[in-house]
Structure 1
């Protein structure tokens, strides 16, 4: 499959991420740009909550179920609006068509640039990712397809016998399973298409909405926000190639819309397109969507908007204090005063987040180097983006001169400070602040574009304004009649030329980290064998394998259960451990056949790997072991576990 062949699926994916949320955002009172930009947040919340409810009620997960819930939610919301229409807020004023068209133009150019970079990095939508986490994400989607259960409290089982159930953010996997059901495509292709669409549709829409709240219906600002949403390498490009962190990608893609909602709640939006009342209704929906996409994205939202929240609370307390309502003033001031002690109590003393806090990635540079990377956009030793870095600084200075925008600079500085702690400061104490992100500098660097995109837009507008003011005395602008659309085109062309197509080569290389061409996860012959396994094996049987050689992809390509579907082996059962060590000794070890028959392990897929470890039982069986080879591709061989199968002789 080529990317051109995948275009209809990408369009369908974009529709899936937006369309189901439009009736609800419309009924809430949002119009045009805001209605569309908030829709993905509603869709993710709706899908994730439906998955949890379906699992509790024993209803099988499917697209018709989500469709019925979407329609039902819209009907209920419509009835509520009809019954209480006189008491509800009036619909928010929608932006004019020229404003919407300007925003759309930036989004279209960003989409084109993004697709160009993706095609240069990922040869085919079906290309397999070569990272430690990819097998889990692939097979979590496959497990949903096989089991019909998509709850965020059940996804971590992965079909492994005896697996303990627990929370794992499943919104991305829920969306992937729906797309796979609708298109019939392979799980790897679905994963790639979904993630690319999130990066090139959901994230840019959120950036435009955030810019709309900051700048009002400024056509140049909105067009630039759409365009520049794909300019930073740290996000979304880094998370398309590092990890691989697809759930984090989804969660952080929703954060700009979450920031826009907080701005409305805090009264900091310019010509607010959401409205404070609607923002309070949207807040729990946004928090639910972001949390089930990935919990650390909620913390990212909190960190970025902390200055805005402090400003809003301080203003509210000051107003009430001046009006003589001191008890109310104290109520609004209390969160500011008690925030630090509460944080210490919950995080340090009680250890509520002890799980992620124990993870640590050691610092790899000095604090000054890390700070320099934040200022130049060269995080994690990537190349500096000098033009964007300069515009961020110009935008920060411009914002600092306007009191209503200073919080944005503070939020950007806070994100940068967290990155410096993770990348450049030694010691376990830093995990008190960075542990929510597993002290991973890549996840923390990805926060910077949330505030970096609007800062660059504001910087560009400040430079253009200064240039226009400098030319105005000579009457040049009046004589040339330079109108805003022409100026915007000139600015866009200059940015593209000065940044090499918004750093196209850097973005391609960041994505290529997960899709290496010189040393791919499996060869074409091995990939073909993995696909044939679906025809060579029976439904309900399990294929044993060693998980570190790419073989977990068999489950994603064929929907056949493998014995070790991921690389996280912390919860292996005793049976699994025994088979890993002794499976190829089935002819001489009765315990092997007892486990094999109980678990329905009927096949062994293996290639030549090192002996003398826990996987000796999955190595090539000896000729005398009685295993029957039924297929081969590259270095892999597929065997029937004949010594334990009384029907093997008749096959």
Structure 2
């Protein structure tokens, strides 16, 4: 992707998608289905099972509530690698909860729990580096809450114990600083990413309605307010239920970060930098914390409303008695009716914004006809063919869809100085011999063009991020091979016989 340059990018998603059967498109969509229908609900069920003092119907309701948010979490968090790290996060948090659980257990059992927790945490980092900050927001309060009593006891054991604690703290800070120094360039690009301010009141309303906060989708009505109301109820039990406190803290931190990302450009807004100051990337953390608190809220509702003893005999209204006997089931039914009901129009818009070339939020680079064209020429071109083209007009998909090598497989400006120069001077192919020298060195013999309007809608072409010359290669240097609609495949004739 980066012409052999050592550039960091989260590769967990790409590795799994590449190993799945079928082409890249099929593998990527299959991975979405697996993560949505299997990994996310299992991870949430595991997390809720570790948090709750009891399981049964409350666990089922909490897992079901998580189903109403998974589509925005996975599909609308800008990139699939980050979405993958969010989907596997509940499983890692479940193992952290188990590792820090209070009670006397053997050293071997505790060590095994921590080994699994650290392994799962490392897995989220493989999916996306930002997971380290996600774990800090939701996982660190769990560790601190459970560790404070232990630290207090250790601190009171004398000077030697205190010295050990201080040394361990210093070592941890050194390791943290070293990691930050190694990743300094990546961290700097993330923290310095330009992002305009948003509407804080809109953000607060989105918290109540569980809106993905990525684009202007409708309808803006509080149909999913049930999750918010249950989360508030669950958070109110922090005095009585010790496990609630860490989740209240983590969820509150996520809310503060979300508001900082929405606010004006003032110094504290830098705290939202690890998420590119993008509300849509922070929103899943708040949603996850709210789901845990909402499930505790269901547990509180069952404790408050379920009839006991003489209350059953005193309640002669059969419908009320039925609801009170099955509080979790009642809440589940309400959520299954309310959430999909208000999300129906929203879900349609989500799918259109992602998969419909004429409605894609950030513009499309392929139309349906162009996709068929790329598949066809992929069968016609020789195996060693290399194609030159503007990656923003769809040519980059020759590699992922048809397995045809392209000189520019991604839209950003390449790290290679040579290829960057070529992108700015490709239209000088008839007059500057260096253009042909570079093309011949890379074995390029074909050129892909698309004459559609670069509006991201008509014909699927987007405005180039750089290298406008890639779309202006003169026809005098080319010979047409095949075409469909506005897209054309050419053989480069100005540079010798490399395309034959």
The answer to whether TM tops 0.5 is yes
Tell me how far 1:319 sits from its aligned partner: 3.1
Determine whether 1:498 maps to 2:338: yes
From 186, 191, 206, the counterpart of 2:43: 206
In the aligned structure 1, how far is the partner of 2:9 from the partner of 2:103? 34
In the aligned structure 2, how far is the partner of 1:472 from the partner of 1:415? 44
Tell me how far 1:257 sits from its aligned partner: 1.6
Give the structure 2 partner of residue 441 of structure 1. 279
Tell me how far 1:361 sits from its aligned partner: 1.8
In the aligned structure 2, how far is the partner of 1:500 from the partner of 1:172? 28
User: What are structure 2's unaligned runs of at least 5 residues?
Assistant: 455-462
User: What are structure 1's unaligned runs of at least 5 residues?
Assistant: 1-157
In the aligned structure 1, how far is the partner of 2:48 from the partner of 2:347? 23
In structure 2, relative to structure 1, the CA distance for the partners of 1:470 and 1:510 (3 Å cut) is farther
Q: Deviations over 1:230-262 (max 9, x none)?
A: 223xx552441342x111111122211221222
- SS of aligned partner of 1:535: helix
Count matched residues.
Answer: 475
Q: Deviations over 1:295-330 (max 9, x none)?
A: 1112201211222222222110233456x4564367
From 228, 250, 260, the counterpart of 1:421: 260
Give the structure 2 partner of residue 82 of structure 1. none
Q: Deviations over 1:114-153 (max 9, x none)?
A: xxxxxxxxxxxxxxxxxxxxxxxxxxxxxxxxxxxxxxxx
Say whether the 8 Å CA contact 2:323–2:330 is kept in structure 1: no
In structure 2, relative to structure 1, the CA distance for the partners of 1:475 and 1:523 (3 Å cut) is same
Determine whether 1:621 maps to 2:474: yes
Tell me how far 1:501 sits from its aligned partner: 4.8
Determine whether 1:556 maps to 2:407: no
From 14, 30, 37, the counterpart of 1:173: 14
Tell me how far 1:167 sits from its aligned partner: 2.7
Give the structure 2 partner of residue 37 of structure 1. none
Give the structure 2 partner of residue 374 of structure 1. 207
Larger helix proportion of the pair: 1
In structure 2, relative to structure 1, the CA distance for the partners of 1:472 and 1:297 (3 Å cut) is farther
Across the aligned residues of Structure 1 and Structure 2, the Cα RMSD in angstroms comes to 3.7
Give the structure 1 partner of residue 150 of structure 2. 316
In the aligned structure 1, how far is the partner of 2:191 from the partner of 2:173? 18
Q: TM-score, normalised by structure 1?
A: 0.65
In the aligned structure 2, how far is the partner of 1:193 from the partner of 1:465? 41
In the aligned structure 2, how far is the partner of 1:308 from the partner of 1:289? 19
In structure 2, relative to structure 1, the CA distance for the partners of 1:378 and 1:332 (3 Å cut) is farther
- SS of aligned partner of 1:601: coil
Determine whether 1:582 maps to 2:426: yes
In structure 2, relative to structure 1, the CA distance for the partners of 1:565 and 1:517 (3 Å cut) is closer
Tell me how far 1:591 sits from its aligned partner: 2.9
In the aligned structure 2, how far is the partner of 1:269 from the partner of 1:510? 45
State how 1:5-404 maps to structure 2 within 5 Å: 158=1, 160-161=2-3, 163-179=4-20, 183=21, 185-232=22-69, 235-243=70-78, 245-268=79-102, 276-320=110-154, 324-325=157-158, 327-328=160-161, 331=164, 353-366=187-200, 369-378=202-211, 380=213, 383=220, 384=222, 385-404=224-243
In structure 2, relative to structure 1, the CA distance for the partners of 1:294 and 1:614 (3 Å cut) is closer
Determine whether 1:527 maps to 2:371: yes
Q: TM-score, normalised by structure 2?
A: 0.83
Give the structure 1 partner of residue 387 of structure 2. 543
Say whether the 8 Å CA contact 2:61–2:329 is kept in structure 1: no
